[in-house]
Amino acid sequence: MNLAIPTTEQHGGAIRVLIADDHPVVRLGVRNMLKTDEAFEVVGEASNGKEAVARTLALSPNILLLDLCMPNMPGLEAMRAIMTDSSRVKILLLTASVTPQQIVEALQIGARGIVTKDAIVHELTEAIGAVVQGDYWIHGKRVFHLVGALRELISQAVVPHRETYGLTPRELEVVGCIVEGCGNRDIAKQCSISQETVKRHLSKIFDKTGVSSRLELALFAMAHQVGIPQD
């Protein structure tokens, strides 16, 4: 099947890819796979987490293919460091196996998708194309609506402890509405409060949870089961 892979028009060239994996055979295989397609340019490699962070920040790739299990610095920790200093790179995690909870945590940090190593040959270029276009790649398919896809993952994930993070019952109710995709008007109607009150609640919720947007709040809430009724 021929896939139309978008090049980075804003850079006037191919999609710049950095490969970070501690196994040389994996790096070689991925590099050889991508170099056959002129839509991609492999700009560098890293063999551990610290190298992945340093080379991502130095080379500014469009896509980072990051092994989840890396020496020196695990993949999720490396991703946190990268996202702190560079939110422009889109990260696809490579892994032999992954749990729903790990997927949720990775997406919350900023990953755009997960590709299992046994599916690299069949999925990699399509996954890269999806995330370059602004979508996500989960369980071998393109995901357009992240929050909706995460609901299923959360139902499979094991969350050991349910914290409220200092949120009041009303604030927890508002969080639940955000997870459901409600706008301020819907939340105001459902909670029988004004939209200005909704805005004040959201401001306090953002401060208590350390997030800065509605999407981040929804991801945080689902990852930590905050404001989500137990079945």
pLDDT at 69: 85
Buried b / exposed e along 19-32 (16+ C-beta atoms within 10 A): bbbbeeebbebbee
pLDDT tens-place string over residues 86-134: 768 999 999 887 777 788 888 888 899 999 888 888 899 999 999 999 9
pLDDT at 4: 47
Which tokens in the block code for residue 220?
């945080």
User: Which residues does residue 90 pair with via DSSP β-bridges, in sequence order?
Assistant: 63
Which tokens in the block code for residue 6?
């978008």
In the chain, which stretches have pLDDT less than 70?
A: 1-12, 87, 154-162, 228-231
Which tokens in the block code for residue 25?
């055979």
Q: Enumerate residues 6+ apart whose C-beta is below 8 A from 210.
A: 220
| CATH match for 9-154 among 2.60.40.740, 3.40.50.2300, 3.90.550.10, 3.40.50.720 | 3.40.50.2300
Domain 169-224 belongs to what architecture? Orthogonal Bundle (1.10)
- Lookup result for tokens 């295989």: 29
Torsion (CA) 164, 151, 138, 80 in degrees, nearest 10:
-10
Where are the chain's structural domains? 9-154, 169-224
Query: For residues 124 and 33, is the Cβ–Cβ distance under 8 A?
Result: yes
Cα–Cα distance between 48 and 81 in angstroms, integer? 14
pLDDT at 85: 80
